Structure 1
Amino acid sequence: MKTHILFDFDGTLVDSAPAILNCFECVLQAHGLDACRSIDASLIGPPLRQTLEILSGQSDPAVLDALGASFKDIYDTQACLQTPAYAACQDVLTQLHAQGFTLGIATNKRLLPTRRIIAALGWEALFAEVFASDSLPQRYTDKSGMIAALLHDFEIAPAAALYVGDTEADGRAAAANDVAFWPVAWGYGRFSAQEQPLQTMQELLERLVSA
Protein backbone atom coordinates (compact mmCIF):
# COMPACT_ATOMS: atom_id res chain seq x y z
CA MET A 1 0.00 0.00 0.00
CA LYS A 2 1.50 3.31 -1.11
CA THR A 3 0.92 6.11 1.37
CA HIS A 4 3.58 8.61 0.28
CA ILE A 5 3.72 9.92 -3.29
CA LEU A 6 6.99 11.72 -3.99
CA PHE A 7 7.42 13.84 -7.10
CA ASP A 8 10.25 15.23 -9.13
CA PHE A 9 9.41 18.86 -9.95
CA ASP A 10 10.80 20.19 -13.26
CA GLY A 11 9.37 18.18 -16.15
CA THR A 12 7.01 16.25 -13.87
CA LEU A 13 4.73 18.78 -12.18
CA VAL A 14 5.79 22.02 -13.90
CA ASP A 15 7.08 23.02 -17.32
CA SER A 16 10.06 25.05 -16.20
CA ALA A 17 12.05 24.77 -19.44
CA PRO A 18 11.15 28.09 -21.14
CA ALA A 19 12.04 30.23 -18.12
CA ILE A 20 15.22 28.28 -17.28
CA LEU A 21 16.53 28.19 -20.85
CA ASN A 22 15.92 31.89 -21.28
CA CYS A 23 17.89 32.52 -18.09
CA PHE A 24 20.83 30.46 -19.38
CA GLU A 25 20.93 32.60 -22.52
CA CYS A 26 20.79 35.82 -20.49
CA VAL A 27 23.57 34.68 -18.16
CA LEU A 28 25.97 33.72 -20.94
CA GLN A 29 25.26 36.96 -22.76
CA ALA A 30 25.85 39.01 -19.61
CA HIS A 31 29.25 37.38 -19.14
CA GLY A 32 30.27 37.55 -22.80
CA LEU A 33 30.32 33.78 -23.25
CA ASP A 34 29.12 31.58 -26.09
CA ALA A 35 27.21 28.37 -25.42
CA CYS A 36 29.31 25.23 -25.93
CA ARG A 37 26.21 23.28 -26.89
CA SER A 38 22.63 23.90 -27.85
CA ILE A 39 20.41 25.43 -25.19
CA ASP A 40 17.48 23.04 -25.17
CA ALA A 41 15.26 21.04 -22.82
CA SER A 42 17.89 18.32 -22.35
CA LEU A 43 19.66 20.75 -19.99
CA ILE A 44 16.77 20.58 -17.52
CA GLY A 45 17.23 18.35 -14.51
CA PRO A 46 20.87 18.24 -13.32
CA PRO A 47 22.10 20.61 -10.59
CA LEU A 48 22.63 24.21 -11.69
CA ARG A 49 26.41 24.36 -11.32
CA GLN A 50 26.90 21.16 -13.31
CA THR A 51 24.73 22.51 -16.13
CA LEU A 52 26.51 25.87 -16.19
CA GLU A 53 29.87 24.12 -16.44
CA ILE A 54 28.69 22.00 -19.38
CA LEU A 55 27.01 24.91 -21.11
CA SER A 56 29.79 27.47 -20.68
CA GLY A 57 32.79 25.17 -21.02
CA GLN A 58 34.25 26.88 -17.95
CA SER A 59 35.80 25.00 -15.02
CA ASP A 60 37.21 27.92 -13.03
CA PRO A 61 35.31 27.94 -9.71
CA ALA A 62 35.27 31.74 -9.60
CA VAL A 63 33.72 31.93 -13.08
CA LEU A 64 31.13 29.29 -12.21
CA ASP A 65 30.33 31.14 -8.99
CA ALA A 66 29.71 34.32 -10.98
CA LEU A 67 27.55 32.52 -13.54
CA GLY A 68 25.55 30.85 -10.79
CA ALA A 69 25.00 34.14 -8.98
CA SER A 70 23.74 35.79 -12.17
CA PHE A 71 21.39 32.91 -12.90
CA LYS A 72 19.94 32.94 -9.39
CA ASP A 73 19.40 36.71 -9.48
CA ILE A 74 17.50 36.57 -12.78
CA TYR A 75 15.58 33.36 -12.13
CA ASP A 76 14.68 33.76 -8.47
CA THR A 77 13.37 37.30 -8.70
CA GLN A 78 11.22 37.08 -11.84
CA ALA A 79 11.53 34.17 -14.24
CA CYS A 80 10.55 31.35 -11.89
CA LEU A 81 7.15 32.95 -11.28
CA GLN A 82 6.27 32.43 -14.95
CA THR A 83 6.46 28.62 -14.58
CA PRO A 84 3.19 26.85 -15.46
CA ALA A 85 1.94 23.55 -14.09
CA TYR A 86 1.24 20.69 -16.46
CA ALA A 87 -2.34 19.90 -17.38
CA ALA A 88 -4.51 18.43 -14.59
CA CYS A 89 -1.77 18.67 -11.95
CA GLN A 90 -3.84 20.94 -9.74
CA ASP A 91 -6.88 18.66 -9.78
CA VAL A 92 -4.97 15.41 -9.34
CA LEU A 93 -2.74 16.69 -6.54
CA THR A 94 -5.81 18.03 -4.73
CA GLN A 95 -7.59 14.70 -5.10
CA LEU A 96 -4.56 12.71 -3.91
CA HIS A 97 -4.25 14.95 -0.88
CA ALA A 98 -7.97 14.66 -0.13
CA GLN A 99 -7.77 10.86 -0.34
CA GLY A 100 -5.14 10.79 2.39
CA PHE A 101 -1.93 10.35 0.42
CA THR A 102 1.03 12.26 1.83
CA LEU A 103 2.68 14.22 -0.99
CA GLY A 104 6.31 15.24 -1.20
CA ILE A 105 8.84 16.70 -3.64
CA ALA A 106 12.45 15.64 -4.24
CA THR A 107 13.99 17.91 -6.86
CA ASN A 108 17.41 18.95 -8.15
CA LYS A 109 16.02 22.48 -8.32
CA ARG A 110 17.09 24.83 -5.54
CA LEU A 111 14.74 25.29 -2.61
CA LEU A 112 14.02 29.04 -2.96
CA PRO A 113 12.60 28.97 -6.52
CA THR A 114 10.87 25.65 -5.84
CA ARG A 115 9.00 27.13 -2.90
CA ARG A 116 8.26 30.35 -4.79
CA ILE A 117 6.69 28.38 -7.66
CA ILE A 118 4.72 26.19 -5.24
CA ALA A 119 3.38 29.34 -3.57
CA ALA A 120 2.54 31.00 -6.88
CA LEU A 121 0.55 27.92 -7.91
CA GLY A 122 -1.28 27.78 -4.58
CA TRP A 123 0.13 24.34 -3.70
CA GLU A 124 1.68 25.09 -0.29
CA ALA A 125 -0.93 23.10 1.66
CA LEU A 126 -0.60 20.05 -0.60
CA PHE A 127 3.01 19.07 0.08
CA ALA A 128 4.17 17.83 3.46
CA GLU A 129 7.77 17.36 2.36
CA VAL A 130 9.89 19.45 -0.05
CA PHE A 131 13.54 18.46 -0.47
CA ALA A 132 15.69 20.35 -2.98
CA SER A 133 19.31 20.17 -4.12
CA ASP A 134 20.43 22.67 -1.49
CA SER A 135 18.10 21.74 1.37
CA LEU A 136 20.70 19.68 3.25
CA PRO A 137 24.02 19.99 1.36
CA GLN A 138 25.93 18.50 4.28
CA ARG A 139 23.93 15.28 3.98
CA TYR A 140 23.58 14.60 0.25
CA THR A 141 25.04 15.57 -3.10
CA ASP A 142 22.65 13.81 -5.48
CA LYS A 143 19.03 12.77 -5.76
CA SER A 144 19.65 9.26 -4.43
CA GLY A 145 20.94 10.78 -1.21
CA MET A 146 18.12 13.30 -1.20
CA ILE A 147 15.44 10.59 -1.35
CA ALA A 148 17.30 8.63 1.35
CA ALA A 149 17.32 11.69 3.61
CA LEU A 150 13.63 12.36 2.99
CA LEU A 151 12.69 8.77 3.80
CA HIS A 152 14.78 8.85 6.96
CA ASP A 153 13.62 12.22 8.26
CA PHE A 154 9.94 11.49 7.79
CA GLU A 155 10.22 7.82 8.81
CA ILE A 156 8.83 6.54 5.50
CA ALA A 157 9.27 2.88 4.68
CA PRO A 158 10.52 2.46 1.08
CA ALA A 159 7.68 0.02 0.37
CA ALA A 160 5.16 2.72 1.32
CA ALA A 161 6.63 5.28 -1.09
CA LEU A 162 6.30 5.92 -4.82
CA TYR A 163 8.52 8.30 -6.78
CA VAL A 164 7.13 9.93 -9.93
CA GLY A 165 9.61 11.51 -12.33
CA ASP A 166 10.44 12.25 -15.95
CA THR A 167 14.01 10.98 -16.42
CA GLU A 168 15.99 7.76 -16.17
CA ALA A 169 18.10 9.46 -13.47
CA ASP A 170 14.94 9.79 -11.39
CA GLY A 171 14.35 6.08 -11.80
CA ARG A 172 17.90 5.22 -10.73
CA ALA A 173 17.60 7.43 -7.64
CA ALA A 174 14.37 5.71 -6.65
CA ALA A 175 15.82 2.25 -7.28
CA ALA A 176 18.85 3.06 -5.12
CA ASN A 177 16.41 3.49 -2.23
CA ASP A 178 14.18 0.49 -3.06
CA VAL A 179 11.35 2.90 -3.90
CA ALA A 180 8.94 2.13 -6.75
CA PHE A 181 9.26 4.48 -9.72
CA TRP A 182 6.57 5.55 -12.18
CA PRO A 183 7.85 7.53 -15.16
CA VAL A 184 5.83 10.20 -16.96
CA ALA A 185 5.64 10.62 -20.70
CA TRP A 186 5.32 14.42 -20.87
CA GLY A 187 8.60 15.59 -19.32
CA TYR A 188 12.15 16.03 -20.56
CA GLY A 189 13.18 12.36 -20.52
CA ARG A 190 12.16 9.55 -22.84
CA PHE A 191 10.79 6.14 -21.92
CA SER A 192 9.91 3.11 -24.00
CA ALA A 193 6.41 1.68 -24.22
CA GLN A 194 7.65 -1.31 -22.20
CA GLU A 195 8.37 1.03 -19.27
CA GLN A 196 4.69 2.05 -19.29
CA PRO A 197 5.09 5.77 -18.61
CA LEU A 198 2.06 7.64 -17.35
CA GLN A 199 0.39 9.44 -20.23
CA THR A 200 -1.57 11.89 -18.06
CA MET A 201 -1.71 12.99 -14.43
CA GLN A 202 -5.20 11.51 -14.28
CA GLU A 203 -3.71 8.11 -15.08
CA LEU A 204 -1.55 8.43 -11.95
CA LEU A 205 -4.67 8.78 -9.86
CA GLU A 206 -6.36 5.87 -11.63
CA ARG A 207 -3.40 3.54 -11.15
CA LEU A 208 -3.14 4.35 -7.45
CA VAL A 209 -6.82 3.80 -6.85
CA SER A 210 -6.76 0.44 -8.66
CA ALA A 211 -3.50 -0.77 -7.12
Structure 2
Amino acid sequence: MTAGALTRVSCVLFDLDGTLVDSAPGITECLAQTVREFGGDDHPPESLREFVGPPVVETLRALTRVPAPELPRVVQHYRALYWERGMHESSVFPGIRALLDAIHRSNVPIAVATSKRESHARAILQLHSLESGFIAVHGAGEDDEGGGKVTVIRAALRSLAAAAEAPLMIGDRSFDIRAASAVGIPSLFAQWGYGRRHESEGSIVTASDPLHARELISPLLSRHAELNPGER
Protein backbone atom coordinates (compact mmCIF):
# COMPACT_ATOMS: atom_id res chain seq x y z
CA MET A 1 0.00 0.00 0.00
CA THR A 2 1.74 3.15 -1.16
CA ALA A 3 -1.16 5.49 -1.74
CA GLY A 4 -4.58 6.25 -0.39
CA ALA A 5 -5.58 6.86 3.18
CA LEU A 6 -4.75 4.88 6.29
CA THR A 7 -7.86 4.81 8.44
CA ARG A 8 -6.99 2.48 11.30
CA VAL A 9 -3.97 0.97 13.05
CA SER A 10 -4.51 -2.27 14.99
CA CYS A 11 -0.82 -3.02 15.66
CA VAL A 12 2.56 -1.39 15.07
CA LEU A 13 5.83 -3.00 13.98
CA PHE A 14 9.04 -1.14 14.74
CA ASP A 15 12.49 -1.40 13.26
CA LEU A 16 15.18 -1.16 15.96
CA ASP A 17 18.39 0.58 14.85
CA GLY A 18 17.65 4.11 13.69
CA THR A 19 13.99 3.93 14.70
CA LEU A 20 13.74 3.05 18.38
CA VAL A 21 17.40 3.33 19.30
CA ASP A 22 20.24 5.57 18.16
CA SER A 23 22.81 2.81 17.83
CA ALA A 24 25.00 4.41 15.16
CA PRO A 25 27.89 5.51 17.42
CA GLY A 26 28.60 2.02 18.71
CA ILE A 27 27.92 0.23 15.43
CA THR A 28 30.08 2.50 13.28
CA GLU A 29 33.01 2.49 15.72
CA CYS A 30 32.97 -1.31 15.91
CA LEU A 31 32.66 -1.60 12.13
CA ALA A 32 35.59 0.78 11.58
CA GLN A 33 37.79 -1.10 14.05
CA THR A 34 36.89 -4.50 12.60
CA VAL A 35 37.52 -3.43 9.01
CA ARG A 36 40.85 -1.86 9.99
CA GLU A 37 42.00 -4.94 11.92
CA PHE A 38 41.22 -7.21 8.99
CA GLY A 39 43.19 -5.20 6.46
CA GLY A 40 40.47 -2.96 5.07
CA ASP A 41 40.52 0.80 4.60
CA ASP A 42 40.70 3.15 7.57
CA HIS A 43 37.16 4.54 7.68
CA PRO A 44 36.15 7.39 9.99
CA PRO A 45 33.21 5.95 11.98
CA GLU A 46 30.88 8.76 10.92
CA SER A 47 31.38 7.79 7.27
CA LEU A 48 29.81 4.37 7.93
CA ARG A 49 26.34 5.52 9.02
CA GLU A 50 24.82 4.27 5.77
CA PHE A 51 25.71 0.73 6.88
CA VAL A 52 23.54 0.93 10.00
CA GLY A 53 20.46 -1.14 9.28
CA PRO A 54 21.38 -3.79 6.70
CA PRO A 55 22.51 -7.22 7.97
CA VAL A 56 26.07 -6.93 9.31
CA VAL A 57 27.21 -9.95 7.29
CA GLU A 58 26.43 -8.06 4.07
CA THR A 59 28.10 -4.91 5.39
CA LEU A 60 31.35 -6.64 6.35
CA ARG A 61 31.40 -8.53 3.07
CA ALA A 62 31.27 -5.17 1.28
CA LEU A 63 33.83 -3.41 3.48
CA THR A 64 36.51 -6.07 3.91
CA ARG A 65 38.67 -7.90 1.42
CA VAL A 66 38.84 -11.20 3.27
CA PRO A 67 38.11 -14.44 1.38
CA ALA A 68 34.57 -15.74 1.81
CA PRO A 69 35.61 -18.61 4.12
CA GLU A 70 37.11 -16.03 6.52
CA LEU A 71 34.00 -13.85 6.68
CA PRO A 72 32.38 -15.67 9.66
CA ARG A 73 35.51 -14.94 11.73
CA VAL A 74 35.29 -11.25 10.80
CA VAL A 75 31.62 -11.13 11.77
CA GLN A 76 32.34 -12.90 15.05
CA HIS A 77 35.06 -10.36 15.85
CA TYR A 78 32.71 -7.46 15.14
CA ARG A 79 29.99 -8.98 17.30
CA ALA A 80 32.39 -9.47 20.21
CA LEU A 81 33.35 -5.80 20.03
CA TYR A 82 29.74 -4.71 19.76
CA TRP A 83 28.61 -6.90 22.65
CA GLU A 84 31.44 -5.68 24.88
CA ARG A 85 31.33 -1.99 24.05
CA GLY A 86 29.24 -0.83 21.10
CA MET A 87 25.83 -1.82 22.42
CA HIS A 88 26.35 0.32 25.51
CA GLU A 89 26.93 3.42 23.39
CA SER A 90 23.34 3.33 22.12
CA SER A 91 20.53 5.53 23.39
CA VAL A 92 16.77 5.77 22.96
CA PHE A 93 15.75 8.49 20.52
CA PRO A 94 14.07 11.47 22.23
CA GLY A 95 10.30 11.10 22.04
CA ILE A 96 10.26 7.32 21.53
CA ARG A 97 9.05 6.58 25.06
CA ALA A 98 6.20 9.06 24.61
CA LEU A 99 5.27 7.44 21.29
CA LEU A 100 5.28 3.96 22.84
CA ASP A 101 3.25 5.20 25.82
CA ALA A 102 0.60 6.63 23.49
CA ILE A 103 0.30 3.30 21.69
CA HIS A 104 0.15 1.36 24.96
CA ARG A 105 -2.62 3.58 26.30
CA SER A 106 -4.70 2.62 23.27
CA ASN A 107 -4.13 -1.10 23.97
CA VAL A 108 -2.62 -1.52 20.52
CA PRO A 109 0.08 -4.24 20.52
CA ILE A 110 3.58 -3.57 19.23
CA ALA A 111 6.42 -5.76 17.99
CA VAL A 112 10.00 -5.35 16.80
CA ALA A 113 11.08 -6.56 13.35
CA THR A 114 14.85 -6.18 12.88
CA SER A 115 17.62 -7.69 10.77
CA LYS A 116 19.84 -7.72 13.87
CA ARG A 117 20.28 -11.01 15.73
CA GLU A 118 17.19 -11.46 17.86
CA SER A 119 19.28 -12.10 20.98
CA HIS A 120 21.14 -8.82 20.47
CA ALA A 121 17.91 -6.94 19.81
CA ARG A 122 16.44 -8.24 23.07
CA ALA A 123 19.61 -7.29 24.94
CA ILE A 124 19.43 -3.71 23.63
CA LEU A 125 15.76 -3.41 24.51
CA GLN A 126 16.50 -4.73 28.00
CA LEU A 127 19.43 -2.32 28.36
CA HIS A 128 17.05 0.58 27.79
CA SER A 129 14.10 -0.92 29.73
CA LEU A 130 11.97 -1.20 26.60
CA GLU A 131 11.47 -4.93 26.09
CA SER A 132 8.46 -5.46 28.36
CA GLY A 133 6.27 -3.29 26.16
CA PHE A 134 6.64 -5.46 23.06
CA ILE A 135 4.45 -8.47 22.35
CA ALA A 136 7.19 -10.00 20.20
CA VAL A 137 10.74 -9.36 19.02
CA HIS A 138 11.82 -10.94 15.73
CA GLY A 139 15.29 -10.90 14.18
CA ALA A 140 17.97 -13.16 12.76
CA GLY A 141 18.91 -16.41 14.47
CA GLU A 142 22.26 -17.11 16.10
CA ASP A 143 23.40 -18.51 12.73
CA ASP A 144 22.42 -15.19 11.09
CA GLU A 145 19.71 -16.93 9.10
CA GLY A 146 16.15 -15.65 8.90
CA GLY A 147 17.06 -11.99 9.29
CA GLY A 148 15.71 -10.75 5.97
CA LYS A 149 13.31 -7.88 6.52
CA VAL A 150 10.38 -9.54 4.77
CA THR A 151 10.94 -12.66 6.86
CA VAL A 152 10.99 -10.84 10.21
CA ILE A 153 7.97 -8.69 9.35
CA ARG A 154 5.97 -11.80 8.46
CA ALA A 155 7.08 -13.48 11.69
CA ALA A 156 6.02 -10.44 13.72
CA LEU A 157 2.62 -10.37 12.03
CA ARG A 158 2.11 -14.05 12.86
CA SER A 159 2.94 -13.32 16.50
CA LEU A 160 0.37 -10.53 16.59
CA ALA A 161 -2.27 -12.89 15.18
CA ALA A 162 -5.75 -11.34 15.09
CA ALA A 163 -4.38 -7.90 15.97
CA ALA A 164 -2.53 -7.84 12.64
CA GLU A 165 -5.63 -6.95 10.62
CA ALA A 166 -4.52 -3.31 10.21
CA PRO A 167 -0.75 -3.19 10.81
CA LEU A 168 1.67 -0.30 10.38
CA MET A 169 5.44 -0.66 9.96
CA ILE A 170 7.70 2.14 11.24
CA GLY A 171 11.27 2.19 9.95
CA ASP A 172 14.04 4.52 8.83
CA ARG A 173 15.59 2.77 5.83
CA SER A 174 14.43 1.82 2.36
CA PHE A 175 14.82 -1.84 3.40
CA ASP A 176 12.00 -1.36 5.92
CA ILE A 177 9.73 0.43 3.47
CA ARG A 178 10.30 -2.00 0.59
CA ALA A 179 9.81 -5.03 2.82
CA ALA A 180 6.56 -3.65 4.21
CA SER A 181 5.32 -3.06 0.67
CA ALA A 182 6.34 -6.60 -0.31
CA VAL A 183 4.28 -7.98 2.56
CA GLY A 184 1.39 -5.70 1.64
CA ILE A 185 1.28 -3.43 4.69
CA PRO A 186 1.60 0.37 4.94
CA SER A 187 4.66 2.02 6.44
CA LEU A 188 5.67 5.23 8.14
CA PHE A 189 9.14 6.52 7.30
CA ALA A 190 11.11 7.55 10.40
CA GLN A 191 12.98 10.59 9.14
CA TRP A 192 14.79 10.93 12.49
CA GLY A 193 16.84 7.82 11.71
CA TYR A 194 19.68 7.11 9.28
CA GLY A 195 17.91 6.94 5.94
CA ARG A 196 17.98 9.71 3.37
CA ARG A 197 14.80 11.40 2.25
CA HIS A 198 14.57 9.44 -1.01
CA GLU A 199 14.43 6.21 1.02
CA SER A 200 10.90 7.15 2.11
CA GLU A 201 9.57 6.25 -1.35
CA GLY A 202 6.79 3.73 -0.94
CA SER A 203 5.82 4.78 2.58
CA ILE A 204 2.37 6.20 3.21
CA VAL A 205 3.67 9.06 5.35
CA THR A 206 6.88 10.52 6.80
CA ALA A 207 7.39 11.69 10.38
CA SER A 208 10.16 14.14 11.23
CA ASP A 209 10.59 12.83 14.78
CA PRO A 210 8.88 10.41 17.20
CA LEU A 211 6.57 13.10 18.58
CA HIS A 212 5.44 13.88 15.04
CA ALA A 213 4.80 10.16 14.54
CA ARG A 214 2.71 10.13 17.73
CA GLU A 215 0.71 13.08 16.44
CA LEU A 216 0.07 11.33 13.13
CA ILE A 217 -0.93 7.89 14.37
CA SER A 218 -2.54 8.53 17.77
CA PRO A 219 -5.96 9.39 16.29
CA LEU A 220 -5.86 6.16 14.28
CA LEU A 221 -5.33 4.08 17.41
CA SER A 222 -8.51 5.24 19.08
CA ARG A 223 -11.03 6.02 16.35
CA HIS A 224 -11.47 5.91 12.58
CA ALA A 225 -9.58 8.79 11.05
CA GLU A 226 -7.71 9.48 7.85
CA LEU A 227 -3.98 9.83 7.40
CA ASN A 228 -3.32 11.38 4.02
CA PRO A 229 -0.04 10.49 2.29
CA GLY A 230 0.24 14.16 1.38
CA GLU A 231 1.30 14.81 4.99
CA ARG A 232 5.00 14.38 4.23
SS for the counterpart of 1:132 is strand
Consecutive unaligned residues of structure 2, counting only runs of 5 or more, are 1-7, 221-232
Q: Note the C-alpha offset of 1:154.
A: 3.3
Gap change, CA 1:94 and 1:29, over 3 Å in 2: same
Cα shift readout 1:68-87 (whole Å, capped 9, x = no counterpart)? 11011110122202201111
Which residue of the other structure, out of 193, 197, 212, is the alignment partner of 1:203? 212
TM-score (norm 2): 0.81
Which has the higher mean CA deviation after the structures are superposed, 155-164 or 1-10? 155-164
Per mean C-alpha deviation after superposition, the further-off stretch among 84-93 and 27-36 is 27-36
Report the counterpart of residue 10 of structure 2 in structure 1: 3
Structure 1 outlier segments of 4+, above 6 Å = 135-138
Bigger drift between 45-54 and 128-137 goes to 128-137
Q: Which has the higher mean CA deviation after the structures are superposed, 108-117 or 24-33?
A: 24-33
- Answering whether residue 59 of structure 2 is matched by residue 51 of structure 1, we say yes
1:21-70, CA deviations, whole angstroms, 9 ceiling, x for partnerless residues? 10012212333333589842111111111000101133x23321111110
**Does the C-alpha gap of structure 1 residues 77 and 12 become closer, same or farther in structure 2, counting only changes over 3 Å?**
same
Give secondary structure in 2 for the equivalent of 1:163: strand
SS at match of 1:5: strand
Q: Alignment partner for residue 114 of structure 2, among 91, 97, 107?
A: 107
Matched, 1:146 2:152: yes
Matched to 1:189, the amino acid is: G
Q: Does 1:186 align with 2:192?
A: yes
- 1:16 is matched with which residue? 23
**Unaligned ranges ≥5, structure 1:** none
**CA shift digits 1:76-108 (9 cap, x unpaired):** 122202201111112221231122111111011
Judge which range, 183-192 or 71-80, deviates more. 183-192
Alignment match, 1:27: 34
User: For residues 107 and 159 of structure 2, what CA distance do their matches in structure 1 show?
Assistant: 20
Alpha-carbon offset, residue 131 of structure 1: 0.6
Distance (whole Å) between structure 2 residues aligned to residue 130 and residue 83 of structure 1: 18
State the aligned residue count. Answer: 209
The answer to whether the 8 Å contact 1:104/1:127 transfers is: yes
Alignment partners' CA distance in 1, 2:53 and 2:110: 20
How far is 1:157 from its partner?
Answer: 6.3
Q: Superposition RMSD on alpha carbons, in Å?
A: 2.5
Aligned CA distance change for structure 1 residues 158 and 175 (closer, same or farther; 3 Å) = farther
1:65 matches 2:72: yes
Change (3 A) 1:141 1:40: closer
> What is the percent sequence identity of the aligned residues?
26
- Tell me what 2:229 maps to: none
